[in-house]
Structure 1
């Protein structure tokens, strides 16, 4: 009999298909895993507001990891185990002040229930993962709370320079970089507290649920999943994942996210009798 697993799931490129949707097969397999007693948790770089609808779609009642490990919480309820790692306040003010020296198109200050945006190019709002209803000048003085994350949309070369300056001047923060909106020479910088990765949140949950390291499973496809897959008891890269992710994983799914690769791998690995488990759960 298989031991109880903590199953950590990246969203984009892993749990979600190319239309950013959860397929019926994926939903059924994850609900069957839950019914079998395993702990299914979303571990994403997305903020709470851009991921909680997937959590609800799956019918989860377990904690969720957001901001690449900087927030662990139980959506829709108070949970005594909740934690968040906010950015150092001084660093936030000084990073926001850099806007005058770089051609920044958009800055977003994000927290569990906060999304404040300052943009000179309203068209960039279309690339945000959630709807933003308010845009205002951001500074240390206008922020109602210290954010968990700052997101900067910036021309690619300026982004390289800004990321290097931030990393040199603020050892207390970390900068992740990825491509911006398609067909535009832009990059996205995500700035969070140094030393925080998805593994941080997953290991915290493993301790809370008394899950030994060897029973932690993790699925991912991109650079921000590297640490999670490397340190999980069983790390699985998606067939559509990067070569770097595949290189550190214990295994690779035969199928892509568009083909329910994670769900089919999990059903086989856990020997899930999906229909029977769902019938038992709904009885």
Structure 2
């Protein structure tokens, strides 16, 4: 079979409901990598909370973080690495007005650093629950432009925050509401989605669109699955994703649905 790019969302897709990789998934992905396919994690997660998953799988291929705003090869100096930044001004402006806008926690990140106005215990894996003094979001500490910002807000203020961001920064910032029960708004550079990173990796390995297979389950996977040669929605995916997908896994993420689908599709045995 021709070399494929296998583009993997993490949460709700490659990971089970405990945010873990199963042995079956690891063995399957390693087998595909050994066969010469490019297995790439393409996630909304920051690098700081996706690195251990990449390492556990044991791949050496490019990875996409922040929904397409960072593409890199972990632990390597890759001359094709790129990121798409926001501005320091945006972060400090939101910080200055966070109380009146109903913002609880502002988390600002680039590849290696995270800053926040306060620690949060609400989503300990995603929002920092401990901050060093140099990680507190201030004009002094925030020395670089960030790649992504995550805003935890009071639910009744959602539209107000989106309106404020769009009015002042809408020419280059795209606010995206997280799915599920979280009151989280993510800000990334306008037009930057997972498919940007997916196609960038495909280009580096000269893989045609028809040989890209992408998996996902949520709103932030829509562009990626729609653009891939074969977009596969998880059994547990949202209805909007299933409606645009080329296929749906018969089994959900809690029961190795991704691994089983890949083994059937690529005819591998483990």
TM bucket, shorter chain: over 0.9
Secondary structure of the residue aligned to 1:153 is strand
Cα distance in 2 between the residues matched to 1:209 and 1:270: 19
Cα distance in 2 between the residues matched to 1:12 and 1:46: 9
For 1:260, the equivalent position in structure 2 comes to 256
Cα distance in 1 between the residues matched to 2:113 and 2:141: 13
In the superposition, relative to structure 1, how do residues 255 and 232 fare at CA in structure 2: closer, same or farther (>3 Å)? same
In the superposition, relative to structure 1, how do residues 242 and 203 fare at CA in structure 2: closer, same or farther (>3 Å)? same
8 Å contact from structure 1 (residues 49, 130) kept in 2:
no
4+ aligned runs moved over 6 Å, structure 1: none
TM-score (norm 2): 0.93
Cα distance in 1 between the residues matched to 2:47 and 2:224: 19
Question: After superposition, where does 1:88-237 map in structure 2 within 5 Å?
Answer: 88-119=87-118, 122-124=120-122, 126=124, 128=126, 132-134=130-132, 137-170=136-169, 171-178=171-178, 187-237=183-233
Number of residue equivalences: 268
Could you tell which deviates more after superposition, 127-136 or 162-171? Answer: 127-136
8 Å contact from structure 1 (residues 50, 129) kept in 2:
no
Secondary structure of the residue aligned to 1:99 is coil
TM-score (norm 1): 0.89
Structure 1: gaps of 5 or more residues: 275-283
8 Å contact from structure 2 (residues 43, 64) kept in 1:
yes
8 Å contact from structure 1 (residues 105, 124) kept in 2:
no
Deviations for 1:226-245, whole angstroms, at most 9, x for unmatched residues? 00000000000000000000
Structure 2: gaps of 5 or more residues: none
